[in-house]
Amino acid sequence: MNDIFEDLQWRGLIHQTTADELLPQWLSSGSRTVYAGFDPTADSLHVGSLLPLMMLRRFQKAGHRPIAIAGGATGMIGDPSGKSAERNLQTPEQLAANLAGIESQMRHVLDFECGDVSAILVNNNDWMSQFSYIDFLRDVGKNFPVNVMLGKESVKSRLSSEAGLSYTEFSYMLLQAYDFVHLHREHGCELQIGGSDQWGNVTAGIDLGRRMLGAQLYGMTCPLLTKTDGSKMGKTESGAIWLSAKRTSPYKFYQYWLNVADEDTGTCLRFLTELERSEIEALDESRVSAPQERASQRKLAEELTRLIHGPAGLASALQATEIFFGAEIENLDDRQLIDIFADVPSCELPAAELTGEGLGLMDALVKSGLMKSNGEARRAIKQGGIYINNRRVGEIDRRLTPADLTSETVVVLRSGKKKYALLRFSN
């Protein structure tokens, strides 16, 4: 067995554990079954969910069997841990769509066909839906001392807040705790992992397993994925960074990691990649000796984009990055181009302007906002500083026609090295 505990310690991935003295030896003495839960609050996991998912992957590669729970039941309520207000309840249709989305992402990261340690994917609604309310209170609720529940930090913080805590959310802890009991019964699961905000729920499950089954269960939490300033990683001005290519394209996903600050990159390399210690420490040194090369960020972006979007996703992200820095534009559709050039000025024109004699290049430059006047456009063309779809043009009388469309509706104009504008032609 690989020493998973030592590796997690070096990476800084252990925040809290139960049975501190026993856990390292217990993990190294045989193959264990470990689980983490993911509530389907959206049809995709986000970057914050990547950390516990990668934890499961690490355990699997160290010879342990991972179980991922898609919380069809717990997702109907919403975990109050770390939240200042109650979540909006989702419809069954929303939950079903969300479950389908996150299950496919879990299958992409974990190996479900590797013999004795093949990953298991379960939905806790499969067993929770078998309970009546009375049965659950009698069989599970009687094992929960209310004073212990009130002592959990996730409960105390909400009770003292202006928003308060509903009975529904107060009951969430019971549902997650019973997941542990069920997984121990059905799959021999003995270890639950989660983010540091899950400590109360993890220990509640351990206590319930002891009371209901007399079982010795274990818990481990990892730090939350945050920046040095304490803010959450994976948040941008335009919203969260998602694992779904439909929500966050491979290009934007790659760019997010490429632009991580130096002071956060070492943590991300340790938390989220499977690079060996020697390579990570060499990258740490490179940020000191040659920070301008951003070797750490490039490696981080490549490793994570390949993991989440596969080799094809990484290739498209690299191609898009090269295009932004001047490579010729080819084999891209409207969506990809608009994604690459999301932050540059764009102008929508009728498609009819491309027909007949076409649209004069000087007029196009002015309409796009790249040039203030025809005179300025003329000088820029003469000086060789104007590009159509990243190909230099030098003819003052050049006209744009449908042949200049580089995708269904887009022509990309450029002035100088990196001053871009999009022209979109619609019928």
Q: How confident is the model at residue 421, as a pLDDT?
A: 93
AA identity, residue 361: L
Q: How confident is the model at residue 95, as a pLDDT?
A: 80
For residue range 337-392, list pLDDT tens digits in order. Answer: 888 888 788 899 999 999 999 999 999 999 999 999 999 999 999 999 999 999 99
Among 218, 235, 245, 203, smallest CA distance to 44 is for 245
Give the integer Cα–Cα distance in Å for 40 and 246.
Answer: 17
Instruction: Please tell me the least confidently modeled range out of 80-84, 143-147, 204-208, 281-285.
Output: 80-84
Bridge-based pairing state of the strands 386-388 and 391-392: antiparallel
Q: What is the CATH number of domain 235-324?
A: 1.10.240.10
Instruction: Please tell me the least confidently modeled range out of 245-249, 269-273, 400-404.
Output: 245-249
Q: How confident is the model at residue 190, as a pLDDT?
A: 98
For 4-222, which CATH superfamily applies?
HUPs (3.40.50.620)
Confidence of residue 162 (pLDDT cuts 50, 70, 90): confident
Three-state DSSP class for 421? strand
Give the integer Cα–Cα distance in Å for 195 and 363.
Answer: 56
Name the residue ranges covered by the structural domains of the chain: 4-222, 235-324, 339-426
Q: How confident is the model at residue 357, as a pLDDT?
A: 92
Bridge-based pairing state of the strands 33-38 and 16-17: unpaired
For residue range 290-323, list pLDDT tens digits in order. Answer: 999 999 999 999 999 999 999 999 998 998 888 8
Q: Which alpha helices (H) appear in 151-294, and where do they start and end?
A: 153-159, 167-170, 172-187, 199-213, 250-258, 262-272, 277-289
Give the integer Cα–Cα distance in Å for 31 and 190.
Answer: 11
Strands (E), 62-162: 65-70, 120-123
CA torsion, points 347, 352, 357, 358, in degrees to nearest 10?
20
For residue range 179-194, list pLDDT tens digits in order. Answer: 999 999 999 999 999 9
Cβ burial 282-293 (10 Å sphere, 16+ → b, else e) = ebeeebeeeeee
Q: How confident is the model at residue 140, as a pLDDT?
A: 94
Give the integer Cα–Cα distance in Å for 314 and 332.
Answer: 15
Q: What is the DSSP letter of 197?
A: G
For 339-426, which CATH superfamily applies?
RNA-binding S4 domain (3.10.290.10)
In CATH terms, are 235-324 and 339-426 the same topology? no
